[in-house]
Amino acid sequence: MTRYLPHISGFFLTVLLGACATPPRTGDAPLRFGANDRDEVAISVEDCRERLEREWPRPVAELAGSTVRLLNWNIKKGLVAEWQRDLDRFSGDRDLITIQEAVLEPEMLDRFDGTRHWSFAKGYVRGASTTGVATIAPSQPLTECHLVVVEPWLRTPKAINVTEYALADSNDTLVVVNVHAINFTLGVERYRDQIKLMTQVLDAHAGPVIVSGDLNTWSDRRIGIVDDFAAQAGLKGLSFESDDRTTMFGHQLDHVYFRGVELVAAEAHAVKTSDHNPILAEFRL
């Protein structure tokens, strides 16, 4: 067993707290920072697919360079002491940062200077606290989609954030999918439905893709669903010389998949500042 298991002992407390959660309301304005003004954020698969198929005018800001360095981390809402130190340590040289359980509070927002763009898909809201998935990049996305589902037990929202970036010296665009998957379910149908959203979206994009996040793959059946998704979307998973990703019931929970880019290096670091270990990866465009 791993140190992720203490979450199980607090499950019933989480159920009680979940009753206080406020799922996003239909029509809630999408929340972004430094967002472009091309269009509103897509909140349906159909709208997202249409935007990914659209040819946008080339923006001033593009993802430059021949490599993309990624940090993926479920940061546990910044509840564990000294998370700031580890976030600064791992994010400093990263081109793309995908965070699950990011919180909209100055202490997290202010960790990144004004040259970075936040794309934030709102998930769990309780009182004044708002958490979700954040994709942070040096340039604004061409388009952005927020796909939110609600956990069947806890009624807490889980978000997928899809962003598309222009690439310097290329007509291709890079699509980044940042996902926090449904956790507690009796079966796998709702989980399969959420993963299927990513399949439907990526069908509309022929170029490079990076999918990263906390996929909550703590069972063989869930892993099978994600494997099927990756095969259908033509995605490869990271390979690690030493795999320190967080596990539950012997299964890794956090994943990065890719296509149209070449893996240069990947590593996971054991930390005490979250119940998930961060993943670092570098890709050649």
Beta pairing partners, 33: 118
What tokens were used for 195? 């993963």
- Tens of pLDDT along the chain (285 residues) come to 333 333 333 332 232 223 333 333 333 444 454 444 455 899 999 999 999 999 888 776 788 778 999 999 999 999 999 999 999 999 989 999 999 999 988 888 888 777 689 999 998 777 777 899 999 999 999 999 999 998 887 778 899 999 999 998 888 999 999 999 999 888 999 999 999 999 999 999 999 999 999 999 999 999 999 999 999 999 999 989 889 999 999 999 999 999 999 999 999 999 999 999 999 999 998
Domain architecture of the chain: domains with CATH: 6-284 (3.60.10.10)
In angstroms, the CA 36 to CA 54 distance is: 16
Per-residue CA distances from 231 to 180, 236, 276 (Å): 20, 8, 25
- Other beta carbons less than 10 A from residue 45's beta carbon: 19
Comparing C-alpha atoms, which of 276, 274, 285 is closest to residue 85? 274
